């Protein structure tokens, strides 16, 4: 498939332009460790054990995996990363990645931090903010609501507080003209999130897309859900905001279905998931006036398929309804090459106190190790770029030597000739 945008994800010069030789070596060493499922499991166990018994491992984590995949411990810490990405026309999605909050006070604190993220996004012209619903409300309550179980007065009040926090975030995004991504969760609470996201879109997506709901296309029912959401948006006169991903909870979903004697909601094969994702991608682009997409994938074929489809449909590279997104520290060959071609691109940049973000990092490391070829591809690209730079340096050194030799000959009255 050809495209008039002349984008190649094999262009390593562009992909790693922002990284020094030292950066490349550190990244290569890190991905070498992550490429082994055994080492990842051992490392995860060691980190959990060390934290449980208060061993001093924070410094080690902060200067390795945290430094590579996160923007910092606070919003201020993220400024250098934001500026560095902006230099290459890549936006930042600040992702407050504190997990495991279980109490109302913690939910309130998380909401306040998310409001600060939205304000920062507006100040620095960042394209998106993002939040995880279970970070501002109890998942246990969402389970009961989705099952239609009765709530106590105390539970009802807490669920109303959750809905209020959800809307406060979306309203703040609307007032600051910042798009906000609502992260997906497990299927047993996702219906609650879908319903709330739709309510927010009805209110805030009339003029332009502000609220984006996430569709995990490894689920068998998501294509139908996407179609239904599109029809609802047309009927009620708002723009459907979609963050499109393959999915992040495969093992949990499979185990939950087996333990509860339910059919597995996940596609039977990766090929089925790929087909579902690409079908949704084309469905959205064919309705780009009514749907806005943030395409969140590290899959080169899907990203390339998207730009080819945009070419076929005559969709401009910088169409405001089309964004590409990848995780900070990964798939730079995709992000930087798309950005250089003029596409709207953003990087997910997690941040938060090291000890609070560790659950996220552990989950990310486990997911990467479990995805066939994910870290291997990163290693291959890093190794190829280091080799390219080494050869280039050797060529440059050779040319310098020739130039010096030529100057020596001319100084002594001889003319240098290539014989």
**Domains in the chain: ranges and CATH:** 12-20+72-360 (3.20.20.220)
Which residue would you say has higher pLDDT here, 63 or 409?
63
Element at 201 (helix H, strand E) = helix 187-204
Helices (H) and strands (E) counted in the chain, each on its own, are 17, 8
Per-residue pLDDT at 48:
59
**Residue 94: which region, alpha, beta or left (left: phi > 0; alpha: psi -120 to 50)?**
beta
CA distance 17 to 11: 10
pLDDT digits (tens, 9 = 90+) for 52-97: 656 666 777 888 888 999 999 999 999 999 999 999 999 999 999 8
Overall average pLDDT of the 32-44 stretch: 62
Higher pLDDT, 99 or 332: 332
For the four alpha carbons of 132, 133, 136 and 139, in that order, the dihedral sign comes to negative
Percent of the residues in the chain that have a pLDDT greater than 70, as a whole number? 87
Q: In this predicted structure, what is the pLDDT of residue 63?
A: 84
Distance CA 15, CA 18 (A): 8
Burial class (CB in 10 A: 0-12, 13-18, 19+), 195: middle
Q: Residue 419: its pLDDT value, please?
A: 32
Of all residues in the chain, the percent with pLDDT exceeding 90 is 74
Structure tokens, 243: 């963050």
Give the residue among 324, 322, 323 at the shortest CA–CA distance from 335.
324
d(CA 289, CA 291): 6
Q: Model pTM?
A: 0.90
Residue 293 pLDDT > 90:
yes
Count of beta carbons in the 10 Å neighbourhood of residue 377: 18
Mean pLDDT value of segment 191-206? 98
- Model confidence at 45: pLDDT above 60: no
Rounded CA-CA distance 31/369 in Å is 10
């Amino acid at each position: 498939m050809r495209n008039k945008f002349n984008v190649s994800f094999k262009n390593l010069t562009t992909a790693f332009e922002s990284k020094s030789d030292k950066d490349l070596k550190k990244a290569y060493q890190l991905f070498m460790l992550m490429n082994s499922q055994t080492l990842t499991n051992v490392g995860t166990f060691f980190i959990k054990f060390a934290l449980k018994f208060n061993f001093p491992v924070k410094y080690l984590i902060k200067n390795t995996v945290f430094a590579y995949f996160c923007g910092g411990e606070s919003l201020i810490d993220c400024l250098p990363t934001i500026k560095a990405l902006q230099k290459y026309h890549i936006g930042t999605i600040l992702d407050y990645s504190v997990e495991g909050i279980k109490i109302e006070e913690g939910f309130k604190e998380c909401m306040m931090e998310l409001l600060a993220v939205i304000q920062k996004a507006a100040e620095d012209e960042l394209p998106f903010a993002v939040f995880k619903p279970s970070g501002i409300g109890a998942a246990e309550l969402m389970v009961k609501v989705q099952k239609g179980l009765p709530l106590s007065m105390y539970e009802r009040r807490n669920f109303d507080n959750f809905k209020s926090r959800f809307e406060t975030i979306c309203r703040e995004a609307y007032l600051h003209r910042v798009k906000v991504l609502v992260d997906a969760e497990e299927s047993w609470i996702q219906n609650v999130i879908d319903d709330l996201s739709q309510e927010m879109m009805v209110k805030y997506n009339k003029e332009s897309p502000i609220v984006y709901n996430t569709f995990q296309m490894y689920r068998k029912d998501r294509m139908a859900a996407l179609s239904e959401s599109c029809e609802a948006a047309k009927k009620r006169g708002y723009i459907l905001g979609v963050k499109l991903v393959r999915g992040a909870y495969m093992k949990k979903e499979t185990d939950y279905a087996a333990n509860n004697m339910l059919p597995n909601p996940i596609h039977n094969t990766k090929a089925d998931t790929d087909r579902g994702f690409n079908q949704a991608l084309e469905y959205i682009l064919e309705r780009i006036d009514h749907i806005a997409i943030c395409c969140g994938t590290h899959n080169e074929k899907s990203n390339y398929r998207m730009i080819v489809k945009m070419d076929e449909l005559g969709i401009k590279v910088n169409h405001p309804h089309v964004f590409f997104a990848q995780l900070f520290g990964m798939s730079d060959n995709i992000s930087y090459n798309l950005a250089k071609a003029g596409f709207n691109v953003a990087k997910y940049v997690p941040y938060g106190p090291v000890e609070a973000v560790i659950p996220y990092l552990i989950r990310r490391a486990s997911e990467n190790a479990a995805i066939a070829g994910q870290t291997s591809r990163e290693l291959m690209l890093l190794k190829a770029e280091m080799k390219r730079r080494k050869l280039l340096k050797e060529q440059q050194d050779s040319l310098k030597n020739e130039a010096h030799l030529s100057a020596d000959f001319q100084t002594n009255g001889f003319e240098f000739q290539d014989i």
